[in-house]
Amino acid sequence: MIKKNTQIRNIAIIAHVDHGKTTLVDGLFRQSGLFAKGALPDRIMDSGAIERERGITISAKNCAIIWKGIKINIIDTPGHADFGGEVERGLSMVNGVVLLVDAAEGPLPQTRFVLQKALALELAVIIVINKIDRQDARPQEVLEEVYDLLLELNPDEAMLEVPVLYCIGRDGSCGLDANALDGDLHALLDTMVAVVPPPEYDDEEPFQMLVSDLGYSDFLGRLAIGKVINGSAGTHDSLVCVSEDGQIPLRVTRLQCYDGPTFHETNRVGPGDIVVLSGVEKVSIGDTICTRDNPKALPRINIDEPTVAMQFGKNISPLAGKEGKHVQSTKIYERLRKEALQNVSIKVERNEGDDTVTVKGRGEFQLAIIVESMRREGFELCVGRPTIILKKDEHGKTLEPIEYLRIDCPEIYSGIIMEKLAKRKGYMLDITYNADERVTMRFEVPARALIGYRDEFLTDTRGNGIMHAVLKGYEEYRGDFPDRFSGSLISDRSGTAVAYGLHGLEARGRLFVVPGDPIYEGMIIGEHNREIDLTCNPTRTKKLTNMRAAGKDDAVTLTPISPMSLEQAIRFVKDDEYVEVTPKSIRLCKRMLTAQQRKIHDR
Ligand SMILES: Nc1nc2c(ncn2[C@@H]2O[C@H](COP(=O)(O)OP(=O)(O)OP(=O)(O)O)[C@@H](O)[C@H]2O)c(=O)[nH]1
Ligand SMILES: [Mg+2]
């Protein structure tokens, strides 16, 4: 018989990036009496080092609070589109979502993506118009926009009955009336309990748990995290993990449940709860853990396909091995394979013949974060330019993803933007002239155009432009255009960069190195003004004559350079170039280091 576990609610918080999900979870912790204000750092769920540094959520994480005797398991999800797989994974555990929408920005592309996923799973929705303390907040207009989006995604009048709350997540305050908040978050918690259905289970089925996340503890080893769909299990039970390639017997060594941002041990777990089970080493996300007598796999979690691919390989530079401790390609492959176990939206394929690995994911930012984690762990590696994964239709025609791109910027920059997007096979749809001499332009552009263009856009608009892209769909390939409309300045020898040599090159383009930097043959030391590559000698010193003293002539003044971030470097390199990444340095180089090799290849 189908029953309900009325003691539990499972809820995910979803939104576009930065709309305040993680901050709201802090507020919910405080409201439930877990922590007093100021007792903990802000955004406690952003526990990863990179998450804290960048102030963004990268992986979806579970936590739990007790509200009026009911346990609410909450999943804080990331809002950045590249981590969309994490949202899909998180939604596999819940019956309802809180859709946060920034009261000034309104619904943005990722709001649509996450809401679409939630509606497809028929989850209960609670709308929270957040950050109504913003000076530019326009809560009523934003609510209308959210209704429009809801009705567009699900044209059913019932959508207008969805509960709406107004909120200042940062102050831990919400209410039904935007002009009179309650001063706390009880209304949101009450709504969660009232609106989100409790998890259902079949009391005739034996234990079944769907693994939706993996963790690791030095003490307990691998942790399988997920929702108990049916039945119950206790510590020391003998169970089986049904994976894609067979059944793995296991004995439960420990069971834990979420308690605030951490967990507590328990002897028995029941249906509907989200639990942490230890005792199985070889487990993947999507596996079912169930009884040995009646092993029945649940449907695996559905995740959208990867859209971007990037090559990872060992560091080919002559400076390899000086700054990192893991340098061999087998180590790199092993590390990436482990990543794919934890990270449902990435796929890792070893390339026969050339010792490299292709990693496929949902965006170049997601892949850059993997590179960043690896360099912090002491890896050295080379990575190539991210490329968009193309598809073929049933007639064998090549298709590519096309994005709707919305740009908002001062009118004076509209010309250069139109010109650059036209060169990248983008079509303009319309332009509106707004107040304060700004324009809103809409384009359809190939996704591959946006990889390098984002950085140029920021430079071209002096940081005054905003762009948002959302996938339109796959269309016929629009033809080739260069990855980048400039060439590279390539060092023709190894040595050390010298002020005199660099000064002579400044007229040729934008330099990436400063005097004293180590240089090697094939290293890219700058961006050439023209479309072709130029080899040069950045180690050149002034010829000494017996007439003058050397010291005086070396005192040239160079234009200051801003070092490239890892993400900028990845988006900058062309197909035949690599980014060399070590724990301490980011350098760029040609895949073929010597001029001779490159010449032979070009013939
Ligand atoms: N004005 C205002 N700012 C807020 C409020 N809540 C959060 N913020 C700010 O919004 C920014 C983003 O907050 P987060 O909680 O990290 O947003 P998020 O939705 O978790 O972001 P991602 O997980 O990266 O998608 C931070 O700078 C917060 O301080 C609020 O109620 N009012
Ligand atoms: Mg967050």
- Please write the tens of the pLDDT for every residue from 406-415: 999 999 999 9
Query: Is 303 within a domain?
Result: no
Q: The domain that contains 273 carries what CATH number?
A: 2.40.30.10
User: Which of 476, 511, 527 is the last residue in one of the domains?
Assistant: 476
What's the rounded mean pLDDT across residues 336-351?
90
- Is 291:311 a contact under the CB 8 Å cutoff? no
- Ligand 1 centroid to Cα of residue 45, in Å, is 12
- Ligand 2 centroid to Cα of residue 78, in Å, is 5
Scan for tokens 């967990």, then name that residue: 263
Q: How confident is the model at residue 541 (pLDDT cuts 50, 70, 90)?
A: confident
Q: The domain that contains 411 carries what CATH number?
A: 3.30.70.240
Ligand at minimal distance from the CA of 133 is: 1
Q: Would you say residue 42 has pLDDT above 90?
A: no
User: What is d(CA 349, CA 366) in angstroms, rounded to the nearest whole number?
Assistant: 17
Q: Which atom of ligand 1 is nearest to the CA of 78?
A: 23
Name the average pLDDT for the chain: 92
Ligand at minimal distance from the CA of 16 is: 1
- Is 88:103 a contact under the CB 8 Å cutoff? no
Q: How confident is the model at residue 35 (pLDDT cuts 50, 70, 90)?
A: confident
Ligand at minimal distance from the CA of 45 is: 2
Write the residue with the smallest CA distance to atom 30 of ligand 1: 131
**Which of 16-25, 238-247, 373-382, 547-556 shows the lowest mean pLDDT across its residues?**
547-556
Q: CB-based contacts of 390: which residues, under 8 Å, 6+ apart?
A: 398, 399, 400, 477
Higher pLDDT, 33 or 232: 232
Q: Which atom of ligand 1 is nearest to the CA of 56?
A: 24
Q: Which domain holds residue 279?
A: 202-291
* Percent of the chain predicted with pLDDT > 70: 97
Q: Which of 14, 17, 18 to mutate to test the pocket of ligand 1 (most atoms within 8 A of CB)?
A: 18
Write the residue with the smallest CA distance to atom 2 of ligand 1: 131
Query: Is 327 within a domain?
Result: no
Do 160 and 269 fall within a single domain? no
Q: How confident is the model at residue 433 (pLDDT cuts 50, 70, 90)?
A: very high
Do 415 and 276 fall within a single domain? no
Q: The domain that contains 578 carries what CATH number?
A: 2.40.50.250
Query: Is 357 within a domain?
Result: no
Tell me how many domains the chain contains: 4
**Which of 28-42, 113-127, 449-463 shows the lowest mean pLDDT across its residues?**
28-42
Query: Is 437 within a domain?
Result: yes
- Is 278:259 a contact under the CB 8 Å cutoff? no
Do 116 and 191 fall within a single domain? yes
Query: Is 501 within a domain?
Result: yes
Do 156 and 119 fall within a single domain? yes
Do 395 and 437 fall within a single domain? yes
Residues with CB under 6 A from ligand 1: 15, 17-23, 43, 55-57, 78-80, 130-131, 133-134, 168-170
Query: Is 301 within a domain?
Result: no
Write the residue with the smallest CA distance to atom 13 of ligand 1: 20
Do 524 and 567 fall within a single domain? yes
Q: Which atom of ligand 1 is nearest to the CA of 169?
A: 31
Do 274 and 209 fall within a single domain? yes
Query: Is 314 within a domain?
Result: no
User: Which of 269, 291, 313 is the last residue in one of the domains?
Assistant: 291
Do 251 and 170 fall within a single domain? no
Instruction: Please choose, from the candidates 479, 497, 508, the residue with its C-alpha nearest in 3D space to the C-alpha of residue 587.
Output: 497
Q: Report the pLDDT value the prediction gives residue 109, as an integer from 0 to 100.
A: 86
Q: How confident is the model at residue 38 (pLDDT cuts 50, 70, 90)?
A: low
- Ligand 1 centroid to Cα of residue 23, in Å, is 6
Could you give the C-alpha distances from 356 to 229, 315, 350, 494, 512, in angstroms and in order? 40, 11, 6, 25, 26
Q: Report the pLDDT value the prediction gives residue 544, as an integer from 0 to 100.
A: 62
Q: What is the pTM of this model?
A: 0.89
pLDDT tens by residue, 259-281: 999 999 999 999 999 999 999 98
Query: Is 107 within a domain?
Result: yes
Ligand at minimal distance from the CA of 55 is: 1
Write the residue with the smallest CA distance to atom 28 of ligand 1: 20
Q: Report the pLDDT value the prediction gives residue 223, as an integer from 0 to 100.
A: 93
Tell me which amino acid residue 490 is.
I
User: What is d(CA 165, CA 326) in angstroms, rounded to the nearest whole number?
Assistant: 50
Q: Would you say residue 37 has pLDDT above 80?
A: no
316-328 residues labelled b (16+ CB within 10 A) or e (exposed): bbebbeebbebbe
Do 66 and 194 fall within a single domain? yes
Q: Which atom of ligand 1 is nearest to the CA of 171?
A: 31
What's the rounded mean pLDDT across residues 443-458?
91
Could you give the C-alpha distances from 515 to 125, 156, 498, 581, in angstroms and in order? 58, 65, 5, 20
Q: Report the pLDDT value the prediction gives residue 545, as an integer from 0 to 100.
A: 60
Do 436 and 552 fall within a single domain? no
Do 164 and 284 fall within a single domain? no
User: Which of 152, 179, 198 is the last residue in one of the domains?
Assistant: 198
Q: The domain that contains 53 carries what CATH number?
A: 3.40.50.300
Do 31 and 180 fall within a single domain? yes
* Percent of the chain predicted with pLDDT > 90: 80
